[in-house]
């Protein structure tokens, strides 16, 4: 079976890309079609893949300022010639699900979320540094993108949602059902350390972009006399460094080989944003460490309060700081933490995705458009 994988873009590394890696491992001979690709920003292993980019790849600054080309992404994704493939598997948090499969090829979409900026523009823009004139001009274009997003949902034969949260949005925005398969954790990468080896630092590991709300963690630790390590990079880093107190240290992008040790030795992992699911908290649990998470979105599906972490219920520095203090009064069992993370192991993820694909292929094409 000839399989094509379609992914939005490859210029930043996060949870969606770890899902992509698991999908690619299922179909290692499949080419990956993507709007644009920045090799230096991605793991070295990607350079061994068959990655095929759109016309956007030739445009200036596209890999560093891709938001400027927002209105071109639908055309870029639709430009891929997928007629020769028996299955299209899209990994989509924005545009990839709009890929046009051949008339006899089923299209299975792993949906990380319906595009945030399209369906919740006000919430998205609130945390972005968008000039006033641009903010005033953008809404008509956002409406057009949202209309395209709704229309192209009918190109998908089977939706896989990464969480109950996203399944609800798929139903609300696209009027479609979906199968829920949470993102995978490679349990073999992580292992708890002896209690004596656990450090005194708290950890954030994330792309540093505004909607992740890393600013909450930085401001919360200004109220606490504890060290916070922030691993990761992104366009929000200069703003975060500008407000950071001396006990907050920025590590930049950390090599993959160093990540398991960072998790295993932290006092707890901080997850301050509202995410669709979030792989990082599960990785922390796999390493035997608890999570402090905002009580919304996907964290409600992965964190068990009092057993694998604690929640804070207001997105304020004060509420997060209090959650840190509350966590320090509790004990957490690494065995329980790993058991919770193990429900999301990569082998289970791949088996469930393959089952959905096989069922969809067996049913054949049922697309409306």
The pTM of this model reads: 0.84
**pLDDT at residue 139 is higher than 70:** yes
Sign of CA dihedral 184, 190, 195, 199: negative
**pLDDT at residue 66 is higher than 80:** no
The pair of three-digit structure tokens given for residue 245, joined into one six-digit string: 């107190």
What number is the average pLDDT over the span 343-366? 91
Q: What is the DSSP string of 40-98?
A: GGS-GGGGGS-EEE-GGGGSTTTTT-GGGGGGGHHHHHHT--BTT-SEEEEEESSSGGG
pLDDT bucket at 160, cuts 50 / 70 / 90: very high
pLDDT tens string 194-220: 999 999 999 999 999 898 999 999 999
**pLDDT at residue 121 is higher than 80:** no
Alpha-carbon gap, residue 205 to 224, rounded angstroms: 19
Is 7 within 8 Å of 34 (Cβ atoms)? yes
Cα 122 to Cα 6, 118, 171, 315: the distances in Å are 28, 9, 21, 17
What number is the average pLDDT over the span 7-31? 95
Is 309 within 8 Å of 291 (Cβ atoms)? yes
**pLDDT at residue 330 is higher than 60:** yes
- Report how far Cα 149 is from the mean position of its chain's Cα atoms: 19
pLDDT bucket at 78, cuts 50 / 70 / 90: very high
Least trusted range by pLDDT, from 122-136, 178-192, 337-351: 122-136
pLDDT bucket at 70, cuts 50 / 70 / 90: confident
Quick one: pLDDT at residue 335?
A: 96
Residue spans of the domains in the chain: they are 3-183+346-363, 187-342
Quick one: pLDDT at residue 64?
A: 83
Percentage of the chain with pLDDT > 70?
A: 94
**pLDDT at residue 368 is higher than 60:** no
Is 264 within 8 Å of 205 (Cβ atoms)? no
Quick one: pLDDT at residue 136?
A: 66
Least trusted range by pLDDT, from 112-121, 132-141, 162-171: 132-141
**pLDDT at residue 119 is higher than 90:** no
pLDDT tens string 213-269: 999 999 999 999 999 999 999 889 999 999 999 999 999 999 989 999 999 999 999
CATH class (in words) of the domain with range 3-183+346-363: alpha beta
Nearest in space to 284 (alpha carbons), one of 366, 161, 192: 192
CATH topology for 187-342 is: Rossmann fold (3.40.50)
Sign of CA dihedral 38, 346, 214, 149: positive
pLDDT bucket at 120, cuts 50 / 70 / 90: confident
Alpha-carbon gap, residue 361 to 368, rounded angstroms: 16
φ, ψ at 109 (rounded to 5°): -110, 120
pLDDT bucket at 19, cuts 50 / 70 / 90: very high
Quick one: pLDDT at residue 124?
A: 65
């Amino acid at each position: 079976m000839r399989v094509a994988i379609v992914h939005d873009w490859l210029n930043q590394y996060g949870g969606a890309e770890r899902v992509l890696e698991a999908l690619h491992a299922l179909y290692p001979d499949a080419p990956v079609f993507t709007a644009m690709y920045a090799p230096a920003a991605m793991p070295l292993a990607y350079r061994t893949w068959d990655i095929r980019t759109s016309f956007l790849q030739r445009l200036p600054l596209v890999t560093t300022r891709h938001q400027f080309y927002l209105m071109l992404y639908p055309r870029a994704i639709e430009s891929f010639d997928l007629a020769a493939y028996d299955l299209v598997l899209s990994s989509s948090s924005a545009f990839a699900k709009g890929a046009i499969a051949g008339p006899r090829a089923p299209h299975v979409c792993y949906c990380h979320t319906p595009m945030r900026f399209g369906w919740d523009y006000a919430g998205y823009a609130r945390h972005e540094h968008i000039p006033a004139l641009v903010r005033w001009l953008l809404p008509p274009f956002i409406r057009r993108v949202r209309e395209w997003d709704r229309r192209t949902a009918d190109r998908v034969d089977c939706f896989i949602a990464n969480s109950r949260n996203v399944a609800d949005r798929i139903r609300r925005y696209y009027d479609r059902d979906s199968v829920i398969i949470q993102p995978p954790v490679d349990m073999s990468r992580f292992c708890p350390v002896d209690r004596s080896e656990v450090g005194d630092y708290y950890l954030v590991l994330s792309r540093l972009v505004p909607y992740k709300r890393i600013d909450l963690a930085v401001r919360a630790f200004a109220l606490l006399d504890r060290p916070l390590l922030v691993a990761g990079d992104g366009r929000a880093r200069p703003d975060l460094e500008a407000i950071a107190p001396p006990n907050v240290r920025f590590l930049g992008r950390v090599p993959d080989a160093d990540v398991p040790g960072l998790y295993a030795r932290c006092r707890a992992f901080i997850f301050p944003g509202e995410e669709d699911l979030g792989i990082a908290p599960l990785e922390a649990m796999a390493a035997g460490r608890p999570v402090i998470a905002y009580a919304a979105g996907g964290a409600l599906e992965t964190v068990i309060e009092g057993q694998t972490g604690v929640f804070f219920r207001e997105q304020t520095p004060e509420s997060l700081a209090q959650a840190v203090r509350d966590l320090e009064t509790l004990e957490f069992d690494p065995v329980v933490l790993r058991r919770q993370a193990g429900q999301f192991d990569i082998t289970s993820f791949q088996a469930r995705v393959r089952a959905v694909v096989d069922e969809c292929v067996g049913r054949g094409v049922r697309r409306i458009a």
